[in-house]
Structure 1
Amino acid sequence: MGIYQKLGLKQVINASGKMTALGASAVAPSVAQAMGDAAMDYVEMSELMLAAGQHIAAATGAEDGCPTSGAAAGIAISVAAAITGTHLSLIERLPCSEGLKNKIVIQKGHAVHFGAPVQQMIALGGGRAVEAGSANHVEEAHLREAIDEQTAALLYVKSHHSIQKGMQSLETMIRIGREQGIPVIVDAAAEEDLRRFLAKGADLVIYSGGKAIGGPTSGFIAGRAPLIAACHAQYKGIGRAMKVGKEAIVGLLTALQQYDPENQDASWQRTRVEWLAGELGSIAGVTANIVQDEAGRAIYRVQVRMDEQVTGRTAQELVRLLEQGDPAIFTRNHAINTGVFAFDPRPFHAGQEKIIAARMKELLEKRKEGE
C-alpha cells in the first residue's frame, strides 16, 4: 500500500505529465534520501541559500542563482527584484509599488492561466502587467509602444500554455530590452534546457524544480548577479511568504546534480507510446497517434480521438470515467473541448501503460456490450 493510500487517498496513475495538480515529479530514491537527510539536521538558511545559488549557476551557466518555492514564486520574486533592486525600504513596501517603475510588458498571448493567472504573479511582485498586441498576433511595434519610463521589465513566457503562433521571438524581446536598458525575464518553468535562454541573453530565467529536472516541489531563478542579489533580498519582503525549506533546496540541488538534458532517453518514451498507441488504435472508433509536445520539447505522447458514433462515449465522458476509476487515471486534456486528449509516458511507473490500455478497452467494450 502506498503512502497516500495509507492516508485514505486513491491511487493515481499520472498520464498527464509533470503537472502541479498531480504533485509534479515522483523523485528518484537518491533525491528522496537527500531530502530526508536534510530534514534531520540543521543549517544556517542564509548560507544555504547563497550556496544553492552557486550550484544553480554551475548547472545553468548563469552568474548566480536563487532557489524558490516554485516557478510561480519565481515570477513574483523576479518582478519584485526588477522593481526594487536591493533597496530594503522599497522591498518592504511591496506589493505596493506606487510611484516606482513597475510596469511589466508581456505579449498578450503569453498572459496565460497555468493554474493561476500570470498577471497575478506579476501583481504579487508589485508589478503592473501591460499586455502588448492581441492574443494571436503581436508585432514588434506593439512591444515598443507598450514600453515607457515606468517599465521595469519585459516578461517572456515559454510554455505549452502560451499561444504558439503570432508572437514575437525571445530574440526580439532581448534586442528591445538591450536597446531600452530594460531586463528581460523568461518564465521557462517546464523547459528541459537550463542554458538556452541565458545563452540567448535573457537577464533572469525561472525554472520549476519539480518538472523537467525531476526534483521536489521547488523552483529557481538563474541570471545576472545584480538581479539575483535583488531576488535574494526579496526574502526580507514578499519572498518571506514564499520561502523554500531546507529539504526542498537540498532535493533540488541533488536533482540538478543528476540532471542531464542530453540523456533524457526519448527512445524509452517512444517505446512506451508506440506500444500504447498500437493497443489503443486497435479499439473500434479510436484513433491513436504519436505527437510531439506542442512547445517543441523532445516529449512524445499518445494523442487520442474518438468517433463517439462507434464508441458510444464522448472523449469528455471517457476522461471523466478514467479519473473516477481505481486507480484513477489522469490524462492530458487541455483540449478536451475539441474531443482530443493524450497520454504522457514520462510519469509512468513500470507497467502502468498496460493498466491504461486495459482500462480503456474495458470502458469502451463494456459500453458497446451494454448497447
Structure 2
Amino acid sequence: MNFKQKLHKAINASGRMTILGVSTLSDRVTEEMRYGGKHYFEMADLYEQSGKAVAAYLNTEDAMITNSASASITLAIAGLITKDDPYAVEHLHKVAPNVPHEILLMKGHNVNYGAPIETMVSLAGAKVKEIGYANGCDMPQIEQAITEKTVAFLFVQSHHCVQKNMPSLEEVRNLCLQYDLPLLIDAAAEDGIDQFGTRCDLVAFSGSKAIEGPSSGILAGAEPFISYAKMHRPYIGRAMKVGKETVFGLLAALEDYGKNTMTLKEQENELRVFQSLSTLPGVETAMTEDPAGRPITRCRIYIDPSKAKLNARQLVQALKEGDTPIYTRDYHANEGHIDLDPRPLLPGDATIIVERLNELLGDSVHV
C-alpha cells in the first residue's frame, strides 16, 4: 500500500514548526545523507570527528550531535549532574537526588514549545527551580535562588518566552560567572549560531530549524561539560542517538548555513501578495517584525469579527481543514490576528493561501 496517497501535503506559513516537519532539505543535504546511508563507518569515530567539525562551525571547544534540541538539553544537564563519575552516569536517576540537581529557570522561560521544557530537565534527573513571575523577573530574585543544590542556570532564547521585564542574557551570564555556575542556553530555533559560544558554557540547537538540516540536535560548548554529556551516550543517550545519514546531512547543512537565508527585503517582497487581502470585509494587513528580535518579517492579518465572516480562531481552523491544510502562525488568534511567515513558503503557496482566504472571507482577490 502506498501510504503517500493517504497523506495531505500541507502549506506552512507558520514557521519552522516540528508539527509540519520543520524544514525542507536542499538537494546537497539529501545527497550527503544518501552518501552516509550507503556506507559503513566506525560510529564512535564518526560521532567524535563530526562533533569536532560542528564545534568548528559554531566557534566552540567541542560539540555532539543528538536527535533533537530537547535531547541536547537533557544530555547537557545529565552531564552537569554526574560530571565524570562513571557510577553516577550509569545510575543517573538513583544518584541525582543526592547531589546538586536543581536547574534555575525563570518562570517566564518555563515554556511548552511542543513539549514542556521542564520534562526535558526531569529526564536528566534534575528538578526545575522557578524564579520570578510570569510577568517578570529581576536579578536579585535570581541571585537569591542560588544554593548548594544548584547545578546550572537554563536560559531559553525563544519567542515562546516572556520578553518584558526579564533580565538579559548578558546580565544572567555575568551573574553565572560571579558564582561559577554553568549557563546552558536553549537556542533551538535561533539564527547567528556561531555567536552563542562566547555567551554561555553550553548551548542547544535544533539541526532542522534555522540550520535547515535533517531532524537532529546539537549540543555545543566548553570542555569539560561536553565530555560529561558524551559519557551518557551508552545510557540515557542511547534513546537520543542519530544515524550516520543524519550526521552527514547535518554537516552539509552547517556548511551551507546562511547561504540561502532570505533577507528582510526578500521576505517583504514575498509578503506583498498578501496586502491585497485588506480589500476583504473586516480584514487589515500589516508587516510586523519578530518580537524576539530575530531577522524575520511577517504579514499580520487582523480580523474584525463584527465585519468578517469568521473570527480569527475560526479562520485558523478552517484553513487547516481545507483540501490542502494551511498552517498560519496563530499564537494571537484569541486577540484577533494571525501571522504569515514567508520563510517556509514553497513556489505557488502564496497564491493558494490568498485564494483560500478569499473563499473563506468574501470578495474576490486577484494575485
TM-score (norm 2): 0.95
Counterpart contact for 1:193–1:261, Cα < 8 Å: no
Following superposition, the deviation at residue 117 of structure 1 comes to 0.9
Q: Partner amino acid for 2:191?
A: E
Counterpart contact for 2:309–2:362, Cα < 8 Å: no
* Farther-moved stretch of structure 1 (37-46 vs 320-329): 37-46
Following superposition, the deviation at residue 6 of structure 1 comes to 2.4
Q: Distance in 2 between matches of 1:86 and 1:16?
A: 42
Give the equivalent residue in structure 1 for 2:179. 180
Structure 1 alignment gaps of length 5 or more: none
Give the equivalent residue in structure 1 for 2:208. 210
Task: Render the CA deviation track for 1:164-220: whole Å, top value 9, x for unaligned.
Answer: 1111111121111111111100000000111222223x0001110010111111010
Q: Distance in 2 between matches of 1:223 and 1:284?
A: 52
Give the equivalent residue in structure 1 for 2:131. 132
Secondary structure of 2:298's counterpart equals strand
Q: Distance in 2 between matches of 1:32 and 1:140?
A: 46
1:342 and 2:333 aligned: no
Give the equivalent residue in structure 1 for 2:36. 38
Q: Partner amino acid for 1:350?
A: P
Structure 2 alignment gaps of length 5 or more: none
Counterpart contact for 1:65–1:220, Cα < 8 Å: yes
Give the equivalent residue in structure 1 for 2:154. 155
Q: Partner amino acid for 2:176?
A: G
Q: Partner amino acid for 1:19?
A: M
Following superposition, the deviation at residue 260 of structure 1 comes to 2.2
Following superposition, the deviation at residue 307 of structure 1 comes to 1.2
Secondary structure of 2:196's counterpart equals helix
Cα 1:10/1:366, change in 2 over 3 Å: farther
Q: Partner amino acid for 1:186?
A: I
1:301 alignment partner, one of 295, 298, 302:
298
Task: Render the CA deviation track for 1:314-364: whole Å, top value 9, x for unaligned.
Answer: 111111111011111011111211122111111111121111011101111
Following superposition, the deviation at residue 119 of structure 1 comes to 0.8
Q: Partner amino acid for 2:354?
A: A
Q: Distance in 2 between matches of 1:81 and 1:243?
A: 16
TM-score (norm 1): 0.94
Counterpart contact for 2:50–2:251, Cα < 8 Å: yes
* Farther-moved stretch of structure 1 (120-129 vs 40-49): 40-49
Give the equivalent residue in structure 1 for 2:164. 165
Cα 1:16/1:262, change in 2 over 3 Å: closer
1:243 and 2:241 aligned: yes
Cα RMSD for the two superposed structures: 1.6
Q: Distance in 2 between matches of 1:134 and 1:318?
A: 33
Give the equivalent residue in structure 2 for 1:102. 101
Secondary structure of 2:299's counterpart equals strand
Following superposition, the deviation at residue 280 of structure 1 comes to 1.6
1:316 and 2:327 aligned: no
Counterpart contact for 1:95–1:238, Cα < 8 Å: no
Cα 1:256/1:163, change in 2 over 3 Å: same
Identity within the alignment, %: 37
